Each structure stands twice: as structure tokens, then as C-alpha cells.
């Protein structure tokens, strides 16, 4: 038997790592992966609460979160490719102008 709070602590730590990676990292792909880490942390708390309250809707929400993450990954990586094509860099510090 594992207390629900252990799951919440793990999920919160994953989310905190995602936030830290988002702020610290300078490579746009790694920043994107940090966002995925945050989504995973949220998913874990969804499933843990679903188990706690015996409510299956939590699992369906996880499914929707995954669909949105997949769509976001596809569009985001396409944007990264388009940015790289015009600027030849992945460093976010050097991508600071909307206009070329």
C-alpha cells in the first residue's frame, strides 16, 4: 500500500524539473522536452487521483492530454525546423527577433 501523497510528491517533482528545464535550458528542443516532462507529471497525478476516487474519467483525461501533447509535438517540432531553416541555430538566445 502506497499513500496517495507519495504519487503526488513524485508528480510534483517531475513538474518542478520540467519548469526548471524550461527556464535553464537554452536549446529549443530540450525546452520542448521539458514541457513534455511537465505534461507527464500532471498525467501521473491524474491517474493517482483516478485510483484514489475510483473515477475512470481521470484516465480518459490522461488520454486527451496525450492527444494534445502529440499534436503539440508535431506542430512544435515543425516550427523548430522552420526556425532552424531560416536562422541556422537552435539557441533560444539567438532567436530574439520576430522579423528576420
Partner 1 sequence: MNFHLILFLAFGAVCVGGAVNLLAQRHPINSALSLIAVMAALAGEYLLLGAEFVAAVQVIVYAGAIMVLFVFVIMLLNAGEEEHTHGSRVAILLGVPGMLTGSVLMAWVVLEHSGTESVAIGALPGHPTDIAQLLFHDFLLPFEVTSVLILIAIMGAVVLASKPESSARKAE
Q: CA-CA distance, 42 to 65, in Å (whole number)?
A: 9
Mark residues 70-89: x for contact with partner 1 by CB under 8 A, - for none.
xxxxxx-xxxxxx-x-----
Q: In the window 17-76, what residues touch partner 1 (CB under 8 A)?
A: 17-21, 23-27, 29-30, 32-34, 36-37, 40, 43-44, 47-48, 50-52, 54, 56-57, 59-60, 62-64, 66-75
Asked if 41 and 18 count as a contact pair (C-beta separation under 8 A), the reply is yes
Side-chain half-sphere of 29: how many Cα atoms within 13 Å? Answer: 7
| Residue closest to 28 by CA, chosen among 81, 98, 99, 97 | 81
Q: Which residues bind partner 1 (CB under 8 A)?
A: 1-10, 12-14, 16-21, 23-27, 29-30, 32-34, 36-37, 40, 43-44, 47-48, 50-52, 54, 56-57, 59-60, 62-64, 66-75, 77-82, 84, 90-91, 93
Amino acid at each position: 500500500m502506497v499513500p496517495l501523497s507519495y504519487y503526488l510528491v513524485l508528480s510534483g517533482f517531475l513538474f518542478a524539473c520540467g519548469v526548471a528545464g524550461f527556464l535553464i535550458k537554452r536549446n529549443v528542443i530540450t525546452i520542448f522536452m521539458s514541457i513534455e516532462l511537465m505534461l507527464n507529471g500532471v498525467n501521473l497525478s491524474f491517474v493517482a487521483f483516478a485510483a484514489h476516487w475510483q473515477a475512470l474519467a481521470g484516465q480518459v483525461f490522461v488520454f486527451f492530454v496525450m492527444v494534445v501533447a502529440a499534436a503539440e509535438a508535431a506542430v512544435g517540432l515543425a516550427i523548430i525546423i522552420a526556425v532552424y531553416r531560416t536562422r541556422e541555430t537552435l539557441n533560444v538566445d539567438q532567436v530574439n527577433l520576430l522579423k528576420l
